[in-house]
């Protein structure tokens, strides 16, 4: 391959990464190779120290060699400004967990693969613990980490260079591109509690694609058992105390979900067509089945299933109209009637009377999950013309899909006629994106520059389509008992009806110019401007200025200022979901509607506009032969952030006015909510990164420090839209300080690693109580924590290797949940930023060739 063609602007990144992994695989001592990145500059790849903006460059080996097996958790460990938590019982967010870079939502971070834009996930995070509510970001859990040559994190706004979403920064995953060698390994681990057993097999191989090319293939297959960090719920304990032997302990599971058939495949191909032209093709396919917990349905109080009068009496369905007796669940003082009494009365009901107490005397806890799929393919050509013009022409197709399921639950309105196995398929979402890019770079002579002026420009066309598919009939059907107060649809996650299904597309095109030059051997300046035209909301223009000054041989100063934007997605602008209930003697709908729907418009809904950002950053870099230290300050102002509105209740006058306008849908609607541009935030912080390489302890010892200090302030909002509780979540949910200090030692065939992790204090609005002060509020103020990871490994001369280690080796657990037994049975705060599962030990055995 023509390695000299490495440049920024797309798949050229793969060549840079490939040079590194190829060298690393041919020599155990390949530590002198200078690590470079193509992010943030289209002139030439730069080192961490030479970049004008802060960049983290993480080798594939460092990224992969952890006890953690999910890329999302792996990147959280090595990038302090990125936060990810477990998201138990969070509907679709449990399937595709949101990641927050610099405290901003997942769709404010642009993700690239080999320098090319990745498609977003099909999942819209309706429940994102307040931080990510309503976001639709990419799925980072789809890459086999064994196939990554390098991961780069640009910690700066870059929308003027890369387009929408690059507000918090850019993450670029580079696939390996070696044409020989490879590895095969098996990993197994378990939490100290004895659960969460994980098994994984992974492999990578580099093959020649003729003598002028390469084909690098990687796979990963993983299975992981669920965990439970639960205590018995207070209401479940009370049911047991009434003599009911059918209640499970714990009735509700809080823990990591079960992961089944988690398969990932990545391929990276390149071929030299001529001395000055390369062809490339890369992509991935992945699928996984996530099966998680849900909330307990109490047999003495669950509305729409067991009781509709606050638990005073049992909800009984009359199948023929002949009438049914009343069965009391509570006595005059509010105490539960003994189970034996209720059970005997239920057993004596006439044949025409039906109660779910008969089938579920201890209540039930649904299980919710989904099958998540992801695939992408990128191909193109790149090269250099005789005049020195470098070009990259590419096309890509990406798709994400999720099919939901829920079981061990009921559609109560169907009465005794439930589907086989009490399993429902509520429907699913699919996101498809198509991109075409032309990127050009030319270095021209300019008398006022030291090494010539780099002028880059390009065009991009993109189309994205969001689709919603209706569920099976039983998941949304209005059954015969609906008129008697039994709930409609699969309880816990009602299915999407045909009126919720649909397909919505949007196209946009963009053009950009990016200029960079060294005005002096010590001064580099760059400027970029990008114009985009979206067919739904119109146009946007963004710019960026960057500078770097080499003050001394070891000290450099750098700064950047830019504007950015995030375009609302077709999913956010068009998704609808309707839940039907029997209220006040008639069927009523609670709906999430598009903001342009006439019903939403009556309450302030209007077409979504892009979020707009203004970023500034400045910092310093100190670098010599052994030391690298960077300190960067940043400020990100974001206006018109998109949020979900509150539920607006329709009055009789509202319905009449809407029907008069021809909106018949309003007749059955009780309340509505929608996406809306509502609030502004200001995020400020400091990143500190340092590394030192030494010959301590008779070998090579690397010390690495990475710290992030981050604060977000909500500067403007509408109280009726997001409320004080969400404001506090946005400001305090994530640790204000997070960091790590790593010692990595290697000596001959041995290596050892110790990583000290620090997480600052955090705030949690437990189970989305929705308030800050008051008797119904459930605030949790969690303390800071230190965690330690260790690993030791040995490489045999025949290529075999063994690594053993532990994440959170001292089994640090969060402080106990103050509402655990009183509310829903979570032993620890579920949204603890460092997790709640405790220590995890593992072993990895493999063979490199």
Determine the Cα–Cα distance for residues 657 and 175; give it in Å rounded to an integer: 58
Instruction: For residues 342-357, give the mean pLDDT.
Output: 96
Calpha distance 357→314 (Å, rounded)? 8
Residue 553's CB is within 10 A of a number of other CB atoms, namely 9
pLDDT value at residue 13: 37
- pLDDT tens profile 683-712: 999 999 999 999 998 899 999 999 999 999
Per the CB < 8 A criterion, the answer to whether 411 and 475 are in contact is yes
**Average pLDDT for 730-747:** 95
> What's the confidence (pLDDT) of residue 583?
56
Which of the pair, 464 or 447, is modelled with greater confidence? 464
Contact yes or no for 130/727 (Cβ under 8 A): no
Q: Lowest-confidence range among 151-165, 276-290, 359-373, 716-730?
A: 716-730
pLDDT at 92 over 50: yes
The predicted-structure confidence for 539-596, as pLDDT tens digits, reads as follows 999 999 999 999 999 999 999 999 999 999 999 999 988 776 555 555 566 788 999 9
> Residue 15: is its pLDDT beyond 50?
no
Q: Are strands 169-175 and 109-113 parallel, antiparallel or unpaired?
A: parallel
- Grouping H, G, I as helix, E, B as strand and the rest as coil, residue 486 is coil
Kindly write down the DSSP assignment for every residue of 149-184, as one continuous string.
Answer: EEEEEE-S--HHHH-TTTTSEEEEEEE---SS-EEE
* Residue 24 pLDDT: 40
Is-contact 782 764, C-beta < 8 A? yes
d(CA 317, CA 324): 8
- The whole-angstrom separation of Cα 579 and Cα 482 is 13
Q: What is the pLDDT of residues 263-307, one digit of tens each?
A: 999 999 999 999 999 999 999 999 999 999 999 999 999 989 999
Taking only the tens place, the pLDDT of each residue in 241-264 is 999 999 999 999 999 999 999 999
- Taking only the tens place, the pLDDT of each residue in 70-88 is 898 899 888 889 999 888 8
Neighbours of 236 (CB within 10 A): 25
For residue 519, what pLDDT is reported?
A: 87
pLDDT (0 to 100) of residue 779: 92
Question: How would residue 400 be classed by pLDDT, with cut points 50, 70 and 90?
Answer: very high
| Cβ-based burial of 381 (10 A; exposed 0-12, middle 13-18, buried ≥19) | middle
Longest dimension (CA), the chain: 98
Q: Which two tokens stand for residue 562?
A: 């830019």
Asked if residues 821 and 232 have their Cβ atoms less than 8 Å apart, the reply is yes
In residues, how long is the chain?
Answer: 849
> pLDDT: is 650 or 45 the higher one?
650
CA angle 751, 756, 757 (to 5 degrees): 130
pLDDT at 451: 78
643 or 360: which leads in pLDDT:
360
Q: Which residue has the tokens 């390098």?
A: 150
Mean pLDDT, the chain, rounded, equals 90
Average pLDDT over residues 798-826: 94
Give mean pLDDT, residues 661-676: 86
Taking residues 80-108, report their average pLDDT: 90
Q: Which of 225, 290, 7, 183 is nearest to 844 (CA)?
A: 183
What is the structure's pLDDT at 51? Answer: 86
- How far apart are the C-alpha atoms of 59 and 40, rounded to whole Å? 18
Contact (Cβ atoms closer than 8 angstroms) between residue 210 and residue 195:
no
Three-state SS for 89?
coil
Asked whether 778 and 765 are in contact (CB, 8 A), the reply is yes
Give 127's pLDDT tier (boundaries 50, 70, 90): confident
pLDDT of residue 37: 66
Using a 10 angstrom Cβ sphere, with 0-12 exposed, 13-18 middle and 19 or more buried, the burial of residue 275 is exposed
């Amino acid at each position: 391959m023509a390695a000299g063609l490495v440049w920024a602007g797309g798949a050229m990144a793969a060549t840079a990464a490939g040079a590194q992994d190829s060298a690393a695989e041919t020599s155990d001592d390949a530590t002198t190779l200078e690590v470079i990145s193509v992010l943030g500059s289209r002139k030439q790849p730069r080192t961490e120290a030479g970049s004008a903006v802060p960049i983290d460059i993480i080798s594939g080996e460092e990224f992969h060699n952890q006890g953690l097996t999910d890329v999302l958790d792996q990147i959280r460990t090595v990038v302090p400004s990125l936060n990810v938590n477990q998201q138990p019982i969070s509907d679709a967010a449990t399937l595709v967990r949101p990641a927050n870079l610099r405290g901003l939502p997942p769709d404010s971070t642009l993700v690239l693969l080999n320098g090319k834009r990745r498609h977003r996930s099909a999942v819209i995070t309706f429940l994102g613990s307040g931080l990510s509510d309503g976001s639709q970001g990419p799925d980072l859990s789809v890459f086999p980490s064994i196939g990554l040559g390098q991961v780069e994190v640009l910690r700066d706004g870059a929308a003027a260079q890369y387009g929408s979403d690059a507000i918090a920064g850019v993450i670029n995953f580079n696939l390996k591109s070696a044409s020989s060698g490879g590895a095969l390994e098996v990993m197994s681990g378990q939490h100290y509690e004895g659960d969460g057993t994980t098994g994984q097999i992974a492999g990578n191989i580099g093959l020649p694609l003729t003598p002028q090319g390469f084909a690098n293939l990687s796979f990963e297959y993983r299975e992981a058992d669920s965990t439970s960090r639960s205590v018995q719920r207070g209401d479940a304990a009370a049911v047991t105390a009434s003599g009911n032997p059918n209640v499970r302990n714990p009735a509700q599971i809080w823990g990591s979900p079960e992961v089944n058939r988690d398969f990932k495949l990545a391929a990276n191909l390149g071929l030299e067509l001529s001395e000055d032209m390369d062809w490339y093709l890369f992509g991935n396919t992945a699928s996984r089945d996530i099966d998680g917990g849900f909330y307990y349905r109490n047999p003495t109080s669950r509305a729409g299933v067991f009781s509709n009068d606050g638990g005073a009496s049992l909800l009984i369905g009359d199948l023929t109209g002949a009438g049914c007796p009343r069965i009391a669940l509570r006595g005059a003082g509010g105490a539960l009637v003994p189970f034996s009494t209720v059970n005997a009365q239920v057993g004596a009901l006439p044949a025409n009377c039906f109660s779910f107490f008969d089938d579920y005397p201890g209540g039930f806890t649904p299980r919710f999950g989904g099958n998540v799929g992801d695939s992408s393919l990128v191909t193109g050509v790149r090269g250099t013309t005789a005049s020195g013009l470098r070009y990259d022409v590419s096309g890509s197709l990406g798709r994400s899909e999720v099919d939901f399921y829920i079981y061990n639950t009921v559609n109560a309105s169907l009465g005794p006629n439930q589907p086989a196995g009490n399993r429902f398929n509520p429907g699913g979402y699919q996101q498809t994106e198509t991109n075409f890019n032309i990127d050009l770079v030319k270095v021209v002579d300019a008398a006022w520059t030291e090494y010539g002026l780099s002028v880059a420009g390009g065009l991009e066309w993109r189309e994205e389509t969001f689709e919603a598919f209706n569920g099976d009939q039983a998941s949304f059907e209005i059954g015969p008992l609906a008129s008697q107060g039994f709930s409609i649809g699969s309880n816990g996650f009602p299915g999407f009806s045909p009126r919720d299904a649909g397909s919505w597309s949007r196209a946009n095109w963009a053009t950009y110019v990016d200029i960079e030059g060294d005005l002096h051997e010590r001064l580099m300046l760059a400027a970029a401007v990008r114009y985009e035209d979206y067919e739904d909301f119109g146009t946007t223009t963004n710019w960026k200025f960057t500078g770097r000054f080499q003050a001394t041989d070891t000290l450099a100063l750098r700064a950047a200022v830019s504007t950015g934007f995030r375009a609302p997605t077709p999913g956010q602008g068009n998704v609808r979901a309707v839940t039907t209930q029997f209220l006040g003697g008639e069927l009523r709908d609670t709906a999430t509607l598009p903001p342009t729907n006439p019903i939403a418009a009556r309450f302030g809904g209007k077409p979504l506009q892009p979020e707009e950002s203004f970023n500034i950053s400045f910092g310093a870099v100190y670098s010599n032969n052994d030391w690298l230290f960077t300190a960067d300050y940043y400020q990100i102002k974001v206006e018109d952030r998109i949020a979900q509105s509150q539920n607006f209740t329709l009055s009789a006058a509202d319905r009449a006015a809407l029907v008069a306008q021809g909106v018949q849908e309003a007749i059955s609607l009780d309340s509505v909510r929608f996406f809306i541009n509502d609030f502004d935030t200001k995020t400020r912080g400091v990143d500190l990164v340092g590394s030192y390489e030494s010959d301590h302890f008779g070998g090579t010892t690397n010390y690495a420090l990475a710290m992030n200090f981050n604060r977000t302030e909500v500067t403007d909002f509408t109280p009726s839209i997001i409320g004080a509780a969400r404001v506090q979540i946005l400001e305090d949910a994530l640790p204000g300080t997070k960091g790590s200090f790593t010692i990595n030692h290697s000596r001959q065939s041995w290596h050892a690693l110790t990583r000290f992790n620090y997480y600052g204090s955090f705030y949690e609005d437990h189970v989305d109580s929705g308030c800050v002060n008051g008797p119904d509020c459930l605030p949790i103020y969690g303390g800071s924590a230190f965690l330690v990871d260790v690993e030791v490994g040995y490489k045999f001369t025949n290529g075999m290797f063994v690594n053993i280690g532990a994440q959170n080796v001292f089994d640090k657990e969060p402080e106990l949940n103050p509402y655990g037994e009183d509310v829903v049975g979570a032993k620890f705060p579920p949204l603890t930023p460092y997790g709640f599962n405790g220590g995890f030990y593992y072993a990895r055995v493999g063979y490199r060739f």
